[in-house]
Chains A and B, each alone.
Chain A
Amino acid sequence: MSELSDNAKKVIEDHLGRYPSKQAVTLPALHIVQEEKGCVSRKAIKEIADMLELSPAQINDTLSFYGFFRTEEDPLGKKRVWICRSLPCMLRGGEELLAELCERWGIQPGQTTPDGQVTLELAECLGACDGAPCMLVDDELSLCVTADDVERMVRG
């Protein structure tokens, strides 16, 4: 059975016409697969490579560079929460917020809660320094958050 869903294949194919090279569809393809499955499995890498006429090693080379994509050994929880720790957020409690969430959830940055609900990540500048400390849930920014806000938003 194919690892990529019909929808994923279609989206990948739709992207091919936008670029003069098939390789340029690597990031869009990795995004669509991870969005659907919470990780990019080895089988998915192979299938993306086949669609883009690349070797799986080329896909993996790009995938592993970004630190954004997860393998099947380390899939994402239902929600992915990024807490910013860069200077503007640090100055307004970003590091304390991250430490507090680690303590409450009993996990370290990069890990997922045992119930599979939330993956906690540390982020470098999220571009919302006017609302420090800020966080990103999946790809939506929230500004001026406290640990209680985070709990309410992702586990409430």
Chain B
Amino acid sequence: MSNEEFKPILLGRVGQPNSHTLSTYKADGGYQALAKALSMKNTEVIDLVKASGLRGRGGAGFPTGLKWTFLPKDVTGPIYLCVNGDESEPGTFNNRVLIEEDPHQVLEGIVISSFATRTTTAYFYLRYEYGRCYRVLKDAIDEMYDNNLLGKNILGSGYDLDVHLHRGACAYICGEETGLIESLEGKRAWPRIKPPFPAIEGAFRRPTVVNNVETLACIPHILNKGADWFMSMGIPKDPNNARDAGSYGPKLYCISGHVNKPGLVELPMGISARDLIDKHGGGVWKGRKAKAVVPGGISMGFMSEKELDTPLDFAGPGRVGCLGLGTAAVIVIDDHTSMIDVLYNACRFFAHESCGQCTPCREGTAWSTKILERIRQGHGKLSDIDVLLEISSSIGTIPGTTICGLADGAAWPMKTAINKFRPEFEEYIKSGRKSESKSLVGAH
């Protein structure tokens, strides 16, 4: 199937009148997938999702069905599903659109996934900033209780499920799954040391699955149309790489920054960044050229202009030195923009959002921001460049110095900006220029 013929699946109902209501969702075939799932064994649902090749859309790309199988088989007592709606990665807004426009699609995915994992209580952790999403979801959940789609004996199947909305309080770290769990439990959102993984000991010390909103929205479609249909889209696994799990299914790509038409586009996995920008983002604005592009949220780092033919599937961005596909949130930076200002912005974000638990992250993100601020003031030293690189290779789970991946996300913009744009950094430092950007210095 070519991208031109592709008809949106997850966004299929977006823009239709009253797309957020139960009646229009049902009229469009909604909750048939749930009825089908409830007629199956829960293990059959897991097998189907495993066979579809669905990988988590929240950033790490872990195979969803496989994650579900990590729950202990012989467990008695509650299992929890936590829906990760803490979408906060700069550039990313697909969960917001999915929830505001088609909440029942997400909620149907939640009920099916809860059934598959034998969950009887699901917590929908939603970032505070999504107030409209909160109100839309609240109404949608009420509709479900009124129509026997939640609560006791759902659709006469004997299966019970409650879904509770839980609002965050503006902290990026709550998107990390164990940070989310700690926050849900009413504590500071300090990520946990793993193992134990949440599947063994998660929320309230019980087996827990944490899934992203977009991931869950895929589930009803897999139930309706099957694993083969899902695998007919995207990039197959690399036969020469046993560790590649393939990149199947539709994907929501967020396009922002210096393009003519920022927005959300759904396509089969694997479109190139260049095609995405030119064919779906209206091209780079003001007739300019792209200088750098973030492939999947700021924590993935930067691609240079000559790397834009890289396919945006799970494996693509890694081949050009980026951390991965991340959230597939593409941020375009034009050739009039200073990479020093861009990197400063990225570092400042991570310094602001570091939870402070691990010293390398807390100090590394803060000092990299201070160094870049000094460079922007015209007082940089050439040796600063290597100090930044040293910081970037010392913080994170990849060097093994932190509990969670926030610091890896802070490191990759530094590594890729400096490795790919080093002459610009050197020239800027030598010139002693002051940045023209209006960033407020020292703002908390």
User: Which one of A3-11, A71-79, A86-94, A146-154 is at the interface?
Assistant: A86-94
> In the complex, are the beta carbons of B90 and A129 less than 8 A apart?
yes
> In the complex, are the beta carbons of B171 and A129 less than 8 A apart?
no
Contact of B333 among A18, A25, A66, A91 (CB under 8 A): A91
> In the complex, are the beta carbons of B88 and A124 less than 8 A apart?
yes
Interface size on A, residues (CB 8 A): 52
**Known: A69-B169, A127-B87. Contact between A61 and B188, CB under 8 A?**
yes
Residue of A nearest to B88 (CB): A125
B134 at the interface (CB under 8 A from A): yes
B422 at the interface (CB under 8 A from A): no
**Known: A87-B91, A98-B440. Contact between A28 and B257, CB under 8 A?**
no
A130 at the interface (CB under 8 A from B): yes
Q: Which B residues lie within 8 Å of A26 (CB)?
A: 186-187
> In the complex, are the beta carbons of A88 and B90 less than 8 A apart?
yes
Contact of B92 among A25, A67, A98, A129 (CB under 8 A): A129
> In the complex, are the beta carbons of B444 and A109 less than 8 A apart?
yes
- CA A125 – CA B130 in complex, angstroms? 12
* Per-residue contact bits, chain A 127-142, to B (CB 8 Å; 1 contact, 0 not): 1111110001011110
> In the complex, are the beta carbons of B443 and A65 less than 8 A apart?
no
Give residues of chain B (158-198) contacting chain A, Cβ–Cβ below 8 Å.
162, 164, 166-172, 183-189
Q: Which A residues lie within 8 Å of B78 (CB)?
A: 20
Residue of A nearest to B97 (CB): A130
B129 at the interface (CB under 8 A from A): yes
A30 at the interface (CB under 8 A from B): yes
**Known: A24-B184, A122-B443, A125-B89. Contact between A65 and B437, CB under 8 A?**
no
> In the complex, are the beta carbons of B258 and A91 less than 8 A apart?
yes
Q: Which B residues lie within 8 Å of A68 (CB)?
A: 128, 169-171
Q: Which A residues lie within 8 Å of B171 (CB)?
A: 65-68
User: Chain B's nearest CB lies how many Å from the CB of A131?
Assistant: 7
Q: Which B residues lie within 8 Å of A62 (CB)?
A: 186-188
> In the complex, are the beta carbons of B131 and A132 less than 8 A apart?
no
Query: When A and B form their complex, what is the total count of cross-chain residue pairs whose Cβ atoms lie within 8 Å?
Result: 169
> In the complex, are the beta carbons of B90 and A99 less than 8 A apart?
no
Q: Which B residues lie within 8 Å of A123 (CB)?
A: 129, 170
> In the complex, are the beta carbons of B444 and A110 less than 8 A apart?
yes
Residue of A nearest to B93 (CB): A127
> In the complex, are the beta carbons of B257 and A91 less than 8 A apart?
yes
A113 at the interface (CB under 8 A from B): no
A102 at the interface (CB under 8 A from B): yes
Residue of B nearest to A24 (CB): B186
Give residues of chain A (16-52) contacting chain B, Cβ–Cβ below 8 Å.
18-21, 23-28, 30-31, 52
> In the complex, are the beta carbons of B169 and A30 less than 8 A apart?
yes
A96 at the interface (CB under 8 A from B): yes
Q: Which B residues lie within 8 Å of A139 (CB)?
A: 128-132, 134
Contact of B127 among A23, A31, A127 (CB under 8 A): A127
What is the interface of chain B, defined by CB distance below 8 A to chain A? 78, 87-93, 95-96, 127-132, 134, 162, 164, 166-172, 183-189, 204, 206, 254-258, 262-264, 294, 298, 329, 331, 333, 337, 341-342, 345-346, 349, 352-353, 355, 437-440, 443-444
Q: Which 9 A-B pairs have the closest CB atoms?
A: A139-B131, A26-B186, A65-B188, A129-B256, A88-B256, A23-B186, A66-B169, A125-B90, A68-B169
A-B contact pairs, 20 of them (CB 8 A): A20-B206, A23-B185, A24-B186, A26-B186, A62-B187, A68-B128, A85-B439, A86-B345, A87-B91, A90-B341, A95-B440, A108-B440, A109-B443, A124-B353, A127-B87, A127-B127, A129-B331, A139-B128, A141-B129, A141-B132
